[in-house]
Chain A
Amino acid sequence: MPTASSLQHTAALEAPNDLLVLIPAFNESACIAGVLSELWEILPGCAVVVVDDCSRDATAQLAEQAGAQVLRLPHHLGLGGAVQAGYKLAYELGYEVVIRIDGDGQHDPRDIRRIYDTLKETGVEMVIGSRFLPESSGYKTTFLRGLVIRFFRLMLRPILAQPVRDPTSGFVGVNRAALELFSRVFPLEYPEIEALVVLQRCVFRFREVPCSMRPRAGGQSSITLWKSVYYIVHVLLGVFVNILKMDVRRLGGR
């Protein structure tokens, strides 16, 4: 179990060398350099890969100039495809823990330690940085998104046999077992919720730890109103398909 003191004192330490921080980025030239410099302030020497999803702006160059490794996709794959590319690379490079943060400055790198420690100490396959635990502080989300998140929370509860507060969080850490799984199977486009169901299919465990969210540092969210309708339909279908696969697997196993 992480003790309060171990969490406080680790902030100034060098980053663990089995940790890779993965930053999917699409048109984040306004934020990416700031995100990287803040990250290295908190976790000096931390290995970082920015997955540039064929941004139309200078995201990749700026990330490279700031000193990050950049995985450049040859054409636009969408968030899920980009994150999976990062997972595949991390798996090949032999990392034990991969923590994904947003490229827009919404996640606080100070929370990375807590996710890392929780992964190591509990042995769960995935740890979610959650905005909605009682201890979480800071910006939550817009009213509309709050409703959508509530809806998915209710829907996921019976599927995951465990409550999840922040199923859409992009602040996610995985260990090597989950990395291996996600390199093979990972949802495209809007991956967070479906990834939870994929995890459940393999009887992997997850846990949530509090994190503080901030408003975007600049640029624009890729999720517009119209897209959020598509998002809901897409995710519902994706979850449904994963449940179908889950049952087939169980029946086949008997």
Chain B
Amino acid sequence: MPPMQSLVAAVTLVLIAAVLVQVRRAHIRVEYSVSWLGAGLALLAVTFYPGLLPRLANFAGLQDESLTLLLLVGCIFLFVLFRLSIVVSALKDNNIALAQRLAILEYHLSHLNEKETQRS
């Protein structure tokens, strides 16, 4: 295995291990570990399955296998990041709506309390 591929394989293994550890500790929710694990497994497949990378390079019309691998890594993580942006945006929207609702409810509540104290 060329050094480039060993490096990617090593980093990928560390990544997968780290994701699994974090999922176990509940720092990453299972649904968000899926894209990381999927990305990691795809990279492992490419680095360990001998014929795959040359075929991919050939398919992409590239001479250089390392470059192909790098591009592949880039694309996969672009996809993961894209997915995360969607998740973060949805979370932000929900979070803002929630903060607004909380503020409004507190407003109503404090007015109810005022009315109560006026009555008694």
- Is the Cβ of A71 less than 8 Å from the Cβ of B102? no
Q: Is B59 an interface residue (CB 8 A)?
A: no
Interface 1/0 per residue, B64-98 and A, CB below 8 Å: 00000000000000000000000000000000100
Is the pair A188, B96 in contact by a Cβ cutoff of 8 Å?
Answer: yes
Which of chain B's residues have a CB closer than 8 A to the CB of A119?
none
Asked if B10 CB lies within 8 Å of chain A CBs, one says no
A-B contact count (CB 8 A): 32
Residue of B nearest to A80 (CB): B96
Q: With an 8 A cutoff between CB atoms, is A13 at the interface? A: no
B107 near A74 (CB under 8 angstroms)? no
Contacts of B112 in A (CB 8 A): none
- How far is it, in angstroms, between the C-alpha of A194 and the C-alpha of B87 when the chains are bound? 23
A72 adjacent to chain B (CB < 8 Å): yes
B96: which A residues are within 8 A, CB to CB? 77, 81, 188
Contact with B along A88-109 (1 / 0, CB 8 A): 1100100000000000000000
A77→B107 contact, CB < 8 A = no
The reply on B103 being an interface residue by CB < 8 A is yes
Residue of A nearest to B102 (CB): A74
A89 and B99 contacting across the interface, CB-CB below 8 Å: no
> Which residues from chain A contact B103 at a C-beta distance below 8 Å?
71-74, 85, 89
Contact between B102 and A89, CB atoms less than 8 A apart:
no
Query: Is residue B104 within 8 Å, beta carbon to beta carbon, of the partner chain?
Result: yes
Q: Which of A49-98 contact B (CB under 8 A)?
A: 69, 71-75, 77, 81, 84-85, 88-89, 92
Bound Cα distance from A40 to B73, whole angstroms: 63
Residues of A within 8 A of B (CB): 69, 71-75, 77, 81, 84-85, 88-89, 92, 188
Identify the 9 closest CB pairs spanning chains A and B, nearest first.
A85-B100, A73-B103, A81-B96, A89-B104, A74-B99, A71-B107, A71-B103, A74-B102, A85-B103
A sample of 12 more A-B contacts (CB under 8 A), given A74-B99, A81-B99, A89-B103, is A69-B107, A71-B107, A77-B96, A77-B99, A81-B100, A84-B100, A85-B100, A85-B103, A85-B104, A88-B100, A88-B104, A92-B104
A-B contact pairs, 28 of them (CB 8 A): A71-B103, A71-B104, A71-B107, A72-B103, A72-B106, A72-B107, A73-B99, A73-B100, A73-B103, A74-B99, A74-B102, A74-B103, A77-B96, A77-B100, A81-B96, A81-B99, A81-B100, A85-B99, A85-B100, A85-B103, A85-B104, A88-B100, A88-B104, A89-B103, A89-B104, A89-B107, A92-B104, A188-B96
